[in-house]
């Protein structure tokens, strides 16, 4: 057989073997067998040297074309086999359950705060906000607590740089002043927020915790309004068996002032009759003077309580530090 007659059958044989290769390793062998250094097609190409000058151009074109075809077939087959190797061996079962993606949830303190806010919204209160970095004026002076006032000792304060006298607010009552300075009466706000005190952490104390402040200013506001409101909110929050008691107390920004005692089945279970839970009172006329409200015209009440305290009571938690450790075993329970 002449040289050119061998090209086509050789190519056809190579293409047939390439098409029949069923895995990548076998395909590599087929490639070596035909166009590797010792390959059959390579051997054919080497015979070109023995052709006459006249035969060579046409034969060269033919054999190169054939080689291009073989290489293209190899590449196409390799792509097919690679894809096949990447596909799952077993058919996919679309009825299998999906992977569980754990969803986050709200921190118990956030849940309690949202519940309290929701109850107050029902009776027309709106949420107000103020800075955690405060000054003496809003945190103390305007609340009728001058520097030499003994009440300042009971709330040991974190001060920032001493020339500025900036501090971390010890209570959310500072926001009462900010809101009243900013708007004319009437006022109906609640202020959930973080507060700071120089306390050592133990089961019932932490250097930072949360409060909710409430302030209601209008004409003819009474202690009865205050008690009714507090009772409404605590019943919504903790159940119908809740009892509330007001005990006379002292705060510099309210007169008269009270502590609110709370009782329900849970408190009884703790072996107590009452648990003190909040401070409150009728807004002191001097505070109204300080913010530019006429105390002859306007009356109001205010209260403040700790959110952790409520959450601990509600969920039966006995150590306040659990709220800040972010242990998932704790958080997952709420
Ligand atoms: N600021 C008080 C505290 O941190 C709580 C408080 C008492 C807030 C009486 C008030 C109030 O608005 O009228 O313990």
CA distance 184 to 181: 8
Please give the pLDDT value at position 254: 97
Are the CB atoms for 223 and 200 separated by under 8 Å? no
Cis before 116? omega within 30: no
Query: For the chain, what are the domain ranges?
Result: 3-86, 109-331
Residue 1: the pLDDT is 66
Q: What confidence score (pLDDT) does residue 12 get?
A: 93
Kindly give the distance from the C-alpha atom of residue 267 to the centroid of ligand 1, in angstroms, as a whole number.
Answer: 22
Question: Is the Cβ atom of 251 under 6 angstroms away from ligand 1?
Answer: yes
CA of 303 to the centre of ligand 1 (A): 5
Helix (H, G, I), strand (E, B) or coil at 197: coil
Ligand 1, pocket-test mutation among 152, 168, 193, 251, most atoms within 8 A of CB: 251
171 Cβ inside 6 Å of ligand 1: yes
Decide: 172 in ligand 1 pocket, CB within 6 A.
no
pLDDT at 155: 57
| Gap between the Cα atoms of 128 and 112, Å rounded | 17
Q: Using an 8 Å Cβ cutoff, are 280 and 301 in contact?
A: yes
Which residue spans within 221-310 are E strands per DSSP? 243-251, 254-263, 275-283, 299-306
Report how far ligand 1's centroid is from the alpha carbon of 253 (Å).
8
Cis peptide before 173 (omega within 30 of 0): no
User: Whats the size of the chain, residue-wise?
Assistant: 334
* Contact in structure between 41 and 11 (CB atoms under 8 Å): yes
| Amino acid 156: pLDDT | 85
Predicted TM-score (pTM) of the model is 0.71
Label the pairing between strands 187-196 and 126-127.
Answer: parallel
Q: Which atom of ligand 1 is nearest to the CA of 279?
A: 7
Task: Ligand 1 pocket test: pick from 177, 226, 276, 303 the residue with the most ligand atoms within 8 Å of its Cβ.
Answer: 303
What is the rounded distance in angstroms from the CA atom of residue 195 to the CA atom of residue 128?
15
Which residue from 176, 141, 136, 166 is spatially nearest to 301, judged by alpha carbons? Answer: 176
Q: 24-35 and 56-86 are packed helices; what angle lies between their axes, rounded to 10 degrees? A: 170
Indicate whether residue 302 lines ligand 1 (CB < 6 A): yes
Dihedral sign for Cα atoms in the order 146, 148, 151, 153: positive
pLDDT (0 to 100) of residue 148:
79
CATH superfamily of 109-331: Bira Bifunctional Protein; Domain 2 (3.30.930.10)
User: In the structure encoding, which two tokens stand for residue 218, read together?
Assistant: 């209008």
The interaxial angle of helices 108-122 and 307-315, nearest 10 deg, is 110
The values of phi and psi at residue 252, to 5°, are -70, -20
Kindly state if the Cβ of 254 falls inside 6 Å of ligand 1. yes
Q: Residue 15 Cα, ligand 1 centroid: separation in angstroms?
A: 90
Ligand 1 atom nearest the C-alpha of 171 is 4
Can you list the residues of the chain whose pLDDT is less than 70? 1, 150-151, 153-155
Rounded-to-integer distance, Cα 23 and Cα 104, Å: 47
């Amino acid at each position: 057989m002449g040289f050119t007659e061998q090209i086509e059958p050789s190519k056809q044989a190579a293409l047939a073997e390439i098409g029949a290769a069923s895995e990548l390793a076998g395909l590599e062998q087929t490639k070596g067998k035909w166009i590797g250094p010792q390959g059959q097609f390579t051997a054919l190409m080497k015979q070109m040297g023995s052709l006459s000058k006249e035969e060579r151009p046409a034969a060269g074109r033919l054999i190169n074309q054939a080689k291009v075809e073989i290489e293209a077939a190899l590449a196409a087959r390799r792509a097919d086999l690679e894809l096949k190797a990447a596909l799952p061996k077993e058919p996919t079962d679309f009825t299998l359950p999906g992977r569980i993606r754990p969803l986050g949830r709200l921190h118990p303190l956030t849940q309690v705060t949202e519940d309290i806010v929701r109850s107050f919204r029902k009776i027309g209160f709106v949420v107000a906000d103020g800075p955690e970095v405060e000054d003496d004026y809003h945190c103390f002076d305007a609340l009728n607590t001058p520097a030499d006032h003994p009440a300042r000792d009971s709330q040991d304060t974190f001060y920032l740089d001493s020339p500025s006298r900036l501090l971390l607010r010890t209570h959310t009552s500072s926001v009462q002043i900010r809101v009243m300075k900013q708007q004319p009466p009437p006022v109906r706000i609640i202020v959930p927020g973080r507060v700071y005190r120089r306390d050592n952490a133990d089961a019932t104390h932490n250097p930072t915790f949360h409060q909710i402040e409430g302030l209601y200013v209008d004409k003819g506001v009474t202690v009865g309004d205050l008690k009714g409101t507090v009772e409404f909110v605590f019943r919504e929050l903790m159940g119908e068996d809740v009892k509330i008691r007001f005990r006379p107390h002292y705060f510099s920004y309210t007169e008269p002032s009270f502590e609110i005692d709370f009782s329900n089945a849970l408190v009884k279970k703790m072996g107590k009759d009452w648990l003190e839970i909040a401070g409150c009172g009728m807004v002191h006329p001097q505070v109204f003077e300080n913010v530019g409200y006429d105390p002859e015209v306007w009356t109001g009440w205010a209260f403040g309580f700790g959110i952790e305290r409520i959450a601990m009571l509600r969920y039966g938690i006995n150590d306040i530090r659990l709220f800040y450790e972010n242990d998932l075993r704790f958080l997952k329970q709420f």
